Amino acid sequence: MLDITRLRNIWLNRNAFLAIISGCFLSSCTYSQNDAPMKSSSDLVPYGDKMLPKNVCQVIQDGGTERPFTGKYVYHKEKGTYCCIGCDAPLFASSTKYESGSGWPSFYDVISSGAVKEVKDLSHGMERVEIRCAKCDAHLGHVFEDGPKPTGLRYCLNSVALDFVAENSGTTEEATFGAGCFWCVETCFKELEGVVEVYPGYAGGKTMNPTYEQVCSGTTGHAEVARIVFNPQKISFDELLELFWWIHDPTQLNRQGNDVGTQYRSVVFYHSEAQKSTTEKYIEKLTKEKVWDNPVVTEVKEINNFYRAEQYHHDYFNLNPQNQYCQYVVKPKVEKFRKIFKEKLKYH
């Protein structure tokens, strides 16, 4: 259950705490991409018996290619099956996926003979072998003869051409929290025992497949969020909520510290009615106990329109330890988190 006493003690002595947490959002989202993003649109267009975003159809219908290292399945490691986004036909098993370093999801074999078809591709002055879904003819990517054993092949795929069905998906659950800049949020949650995976993203807005710059403009309606995949047998949603309340100031409306805008709003995107009920009861209890002087403004919304953030945001703190923001903002916050939540960490 939520430790109200611990939260109250933290916040009663919050002058030093807020000095850290306010810094946690100092210009945290000023980093920008150098590469122009693939054109995206909120419009849906027909593909077979589905309605899909235009940017997806730019790939599977028009033969486009997403930028390297931006696809949501590049570093995806969950066990399961990758299916065609156009018709749901199973194409590749997670057991044949490997990291090729190319920037696109790579597999050394198809899930079954005949799942994809090969077409000679002479575009861009090159001779390549295109792969398409055998069932609906969706463009998937290309296959190359530089893969690992036993096939020696590298099936190079566009993430947007794929959908994923997890193996034993009922053994894990998901939670999605918005608590300001997602660099701090991701770093802390991923160290908890029972958390399988954490990845930053955008949720709750109207723009399809938004870029970081679009979200930072405050015009997409999206919030910066962290998606947490967890094992409920090891850590409960209640315990995740405890860290959520601690890691940010839920009384600040559409901002965290110096980061101002709806993209930094405090929000719990629930994945089930149970999560919704638990969150609402905790807000009621926190309000009654007057843990904060000001009222809690955290939104409680059903998860909708979630998109993974660009790859360079993933594990940002650990991959960019010399970054000035990481040195002066994220590091002090993470160190404080490790002390307070020591008994809940994976390696305590």
**Within a 10 A sphere around the Cβ of 109, how many other Cβ atoms?**
18
Asked if residue 116 lies in contact with residue 132, where contact means CB atoms within 8 angstroms, the answer is yes
Answer yes or no: 184 catalytic.
no
Q: List the structure tokens of 269.
A: 């995107």
Q: DSSP string of 76-123? A: ---SEEEEETTT--EEEEGGGEE--SSSS-EESS-SSTTSEEEEEE-G
Helix (H, G, I), strand (E, B) or coil at 178: strand
Q: DSSP string of 135-172? A: TT--EEEEEES---TTT--EEEE-GGGEEEEETTGGG-
Of the residues 57, 83, 156, 184, only one is catalytic, namely 156
The Cα-based distances of 160 to 61, 121, 332 in angstroms read 12, 20, 37
What is the Cα 207 distance to its own chain's centre? Answer: 16
Of the residues 57, 84, 133, 181, only one is catalytic, namely 181
Answer yes or no: 156 catalytic.
yes
Helix (H, G, I), strand (E, B) or coil at 204: coil
Q: Give the residue numbers annotated as catalytic, written as ranges.
A: 156, 181
